[in-house]
């Protein structure tokens, strides 16, 4: 099952931890494990504040930095539309790319920005087969806490935020499921 570019949506039964009401985009899937970014955990750090921390003028760029996950908290990455590229860009799907390079912030400061984008610190990671086992509820994971899976689109990824992103993604997954059942 190819999950790159797909959304993982925490089911309503997941409560009381970091994963509560999360929406994750899978950005890598290999024999050595999987990687993703939590899309809907916005930090209090603005893009402008980040610019001040690194000595760049990003005052004209609105938005916040998002918490991509609990590991590699010092890593900075940019999920964006596929027309934009930098030195270290990987294409996830026809519509989405992921970049992580030291030239991202200077380019943003110069006004060179993707059409749509979201910036992250940190990421999610899964050991080999762990994510697939979580999805199917294979022991030690449980079916009632298995990830819901959905396709991604610009609206779900870039135009919704925080709690509305989770409910919108869950609705989208339900519609996809119903369409697959009826076809």
Residue whose C-alpha is closest to residue 10's, from 120, 180, 141, 122 = 141
- For 147-158, the pLDDT digits (tens) are 999 999 999 999
Rounded distance, CA 92 to CA 153, Å? 12
Domain definitions of the chain by residue range = 7-182
For the record, the structure tokens of 136 come out as 């199917």
Give the mean pLDDT of 6-31.
94
Query: Residue 123: how many CB atoms within 10 A of its CB?
Result: 23
On the question of pLDDT at 54 being above 70, the answer is yes
Q: What are phi and psi of 26, to 5 degrees?
A: -75, 125
Q: Looking at residue 131, what is its pLDDT?
A: 96
Q: Give the separation between CA 18 and CA 177, rounded to whole angstroms.
A: 26
- Range in 48-57, 90-99, 167-176 the model is least confident about: 167-176
Per-residue model confidence as pLDDT tens digits over 61-100: 999 999 999 999 889 999 999 999 998 999 999 999 999 9
Is residue 162's pLDDT more than 80? no
Answer yes or no: pTM beyond 0.95: no
Which pLDDT score, from 0 to 100, does residue 102 have?
A: 87
Task: Tell me the fold of 7-182.
Answer: VC0467-like (3.40.1740)
Instruction: Fill in the DSSP letter of residue 35.
Output: E
């Amino acid at each position: 099952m190819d999950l790159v570019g797909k959304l993982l949506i925490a089911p309503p039964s997941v409560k009381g931890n970091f994963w509560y009401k999360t929406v994750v985009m899978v950005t890598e899937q290999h024999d050595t494990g999987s990687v993703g970014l939590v899309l809907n955990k916005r930090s209090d750090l603005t893009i402008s504040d980040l610019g001040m921390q690194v000595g760049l003028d990003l005052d004209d760029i609105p938005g916040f930095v998002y918490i991509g996950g609990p590991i590699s908290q010092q890593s900075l990455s940019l999920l964006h539309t596929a027309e934009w590229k930098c030195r270290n860009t990987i294409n996830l799907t026809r519509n989405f790319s992921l970049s992580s390079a030291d030239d991202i912030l200077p380019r943003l400061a110069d006004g060179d920005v993707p059409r749509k984008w979201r910036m992250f610190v940190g990421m999610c990671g899964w050991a080999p087969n762990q994510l697939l086992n979580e999805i199917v509820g294979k022991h030690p994971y449980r079916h009632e806490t298995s990830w819901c899976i959905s396709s991604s689109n610009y609206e779900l990824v870039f135009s919704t935020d925080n709690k509305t992103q989770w409910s919108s993604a869950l609705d989208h997954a339900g519609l996809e499921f119903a369409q697959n059942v009826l076809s």
